Amino acid sequence: MNNCPYCGHQRSETEQKCSECGRFYSKIMELIAEEEAYEIAYSWRGRYQRIINAADSKQALLTELKQIWHGLPTKARFTLFVIFVFVFALIVSVL
């Protein structure tokens, strides 16, 4: 984190006190900010917000689905593939 969590002033990683507002930095604040950034990037809420706020929602949805698919382990991909094939076979057999 390169900004003061209180005033947003640029800082170096070695500083312990903000030269702009005079507040001391807390490692906990940095960890919370990192966790929030991770949550925005990888949580369902963050993905949903990116899709809704995008100019082209369809393209944003496809991008998010690709990221989810590539993040899955091979076993999970195979399981989803088998489920989709099974459901497709059931639908075709009913029709």
Give 15's pLDDT tier (boundaries 50, 70, 90): confident
Q: Is pLDDT at 30 greater than 60 in this prediction?
A: yes
Lowest mean pLDDT among 27-31, 39-43, 47-51, 56-60: 27-31
Give 1's pLDDT tier (boundaries 50, 70, 90): low
30, 1 in Cβ contact below 8 A?
Answer: yes
CB atoms within 10 A of CB 30: 13
4 versus 48: the higher-pLDDT residue is 48
- Which pLDDT tens digit goes with each residue over 51-76? 999 999 999 999 999 999 999 999 99
